[in-house]
Amino acid sequence: MYNALDVLPIDCASLLALFEAADKYDVTGLATEAAAALDARAGPPDVASMLEAASVRGCAALRATCERIAAGALRQVLEDDAFCALCVAAPDLGLAFVADVTRALGMDRGDGGGSAPARGAARRVPSARAPPPSPPPELTAAAPATPARPPPAREDDPPTPEQMAALDPEE
């Protein structure tokens, strides 16, 4: 191993770029060391980019790091903007990852309901849109039928007989 990554102050984005380059050019030792350094330094905000790189590069160790981080801080991972963007851009990757993590945590019984202890621990995030309020009872009673109005006339439409009768001064 190179043993340089343990002493250098490198942020996770740079480590991930180093991992991708090392993997691309088959510098296996450096790729392994970069993945290990990411495992030691990464946190919930780094999961989206690491998960995407793990998928592209086929790195099981990097995906395992993502799963470990998410298992310890699932809420922070799910609320991260980058992870939400990943789930929108690549739902098969993001949602499968969430399913794997929740299954590993015992939060998924396969029926989508979750186990009893997990249901109490994991609160649902409220929807951004609230359901529309129901109308008051006096408005839901049978209202008198109103006659249908014809669509408004356009300038090039000929006048209707009712319009002609309204304009005729003889009547």
**pLDDT tens column, 95-116:** 999 999 999 998 866 554 444 4
In the predicted model, is pLDDT for residue 126 greater than 60?
A: no
The pLDDT of residue 15: 93
For 36, 41, 140, the CA distances from 62, given in Å and listed in that order, are: 8, 12, 58
Comparing C-alpha atoms, which of 72, 67, 56, 69 is closest to residue 17?
Answer: 56
Residue 62 and residue 19 in contact, taking contact as beta carbons nearer than 8 Å: yes
Residue 18 and residue 34 in contact, taking contact as beta carbons nearer than 8 Å: yes
Comparing C-alpha atoms, which of 71, 148, 129 is closest to residue 102?
Answer: 71
Q: State which amino acid sits at residue 154.
A: R
The pLDDT of residue 127: 46
This prediction's pTM: 0.61
In the predicted model, is pLDDT for residue 85 greater than 50?
A: yes
The token pair at 97 is 């990852």
- The rounded percent of the chain whose pLDDT value lies above 70 is 64
21-69 pLDDT, tens digit each: 999 999 999 999 999 999 999 999 999 999 999 999 999 999 999 999 9
The pLDDT of residue 8: 76
Rounded CA separation 12/132 (Å): 44
Residue 67 and residue 58 in contact, taking contact as beta carbons nearer than 8 Å: no
